[in-house]
Structure 1
Amino acid sequence: MQLFLMRHGEAEHHARSDRERALTDAGLHHSGMMSEWLKNSITEFDLVLVSPYLRAMQTWNEVATHFASPKKVKILDELVPAADPDMSSRLVLAYAEQFKAHNVLVVSHMPLLGYMVSELVPGIEPPLFATSSVAMIDFMGKHASLMWQQSPHSIG
């Protein structure tokens, strides 16, 4: 299985709540850039798991315009910024197994994504994720490896 972890695009700083922060124009643009770049690595996602926060859902909506419709999309409260990384990682793997997904995209937040990498790939310190950046973890049997991490600034 290949697991793609994506941080939402740049979001506005002011909103009624953190949950309601919308993407900026730059956030939409960078999410689109990363989607185009991702098309060099993957043609479709079997499963997409998204945080319920507005900026994450807007990021997924932008990514979705660049790919065929996935077999399944789920919005999960367990993917919010302060979620438990161990529980979130186990949940993502359980959904991947349940839906027999080979290519999974998770759209979420920092610091959760960095901690999830550490949970999923033994010995890896939590990496930082710039907005709109993506990391790919490859699962070969029971072993997982962080294959790459890219941001819009490193591809543009």
Structure 2
Amino acid sequence: MKLLLMRHGEASFNAPSDAQRRLTQRGSDSVIQQSQQQTIPWHEYTSLWVSPYMRAQQTASLLLQNYAYKKHLLNLQTLDCITPHGEIDQVQSFLLQQHHEGIVLITHQPLVSGLIGHFCHGNHHMGEPMRPASIALLEGEVAAAGCLRLTNLFHP
């Protein structure tokens, strides 16, 4: 399994609710920069799952418009369990049911760091800190606790 975890771009705090926060211009620029990383093997990913929150949806839209390997299409879908305080067990159950080899998740802090810690170290407290628009590449046999390894980190 190949798993690309991305934290949404920088978002404004000026919104009626957390779910409605929009990307700042700096956030949009960082997402575009990250999506054009030539060293990310975009062709190895087939599905893109994104949090329903506005800033994550905007990040996904910018990623799809700008990612470096446009000949390859990513199938975009919304996944309710990858919001900021989503449950790691729910995400793991979801991933274990997928038949895709390469999956992209666009999510939030603290969940994204917790997923890295869980999948790579078996401990959600040991995940890498992820800045806005950061990308982590994980690989391994199965998306379960301690079964993946962090192969690369891309920070804007």
Q: More deviation in 49-58 or 61-70?
A: 61-70
Partner Cα separation in structure 2 for residue 8 and residue 118 of structure 1:
18
Return the offset for 1:141: 5.9
Report the CA distance between 1:122 and its aligned residue. 2.7
Question: Residue 14 of structure 1 corresponds to which residue in structure 2?
Answer: 14
The residue number in structure 1 matching 2:131 is 130
CA contact (8 A) 1:86 1:119 kept: no
TM-score, length of structure 2 as denominator length: 0.86
1:1-156 equivalence runs, <5 A: 1-37=1-37, 39-44=38-43, 45-65=45-65, 66=67, 67=70, 68-70=72-74, 72-95=75-98, 97=99, 101-123=100-122, 125-140=126-141, 143-152=147-156
Structure 2: state its 5+ residue gaps.
none
Query: Aligned equivalents of 1:69 and 1:31: distance in 2?
Result: 18
> Aligned pair in 2 of structure 1 residues 144, 42: CA closer, same or farther (>3 Å)?
same
Aligned length: 146
The Cα shift of 1:40 comes to 2.2
SS at match of 1:40: coil
Secondary structure (helix, strand or coil) at the match of 1:27 reads: helix
Fraction of identical pairs, as percent: 26
Q: For each residue in 1:94-130, what CA deviation from the matched residue of structure 2 results, as whole angstroms up to 9, or x when unmatched?
A: 23x2xxx222110000000111112212356122110
Secondary structure of the residue aligned to 1:61 is helix
Q: Which runs of 4+ in 1 moved over 3 A?
A: 140-143
Amino acid at match of 1:89: Q
User: How far apart, CA to CA, are the structure 1 residues paired with 2:101 and 2:137?
Assistant: 13
Asked if structure 1 preserves the Cα contact closer than 8 Å seen for 2:96 and 2:142, the reply is: no
Give the gaps of 5 or more residues in structure 1: none
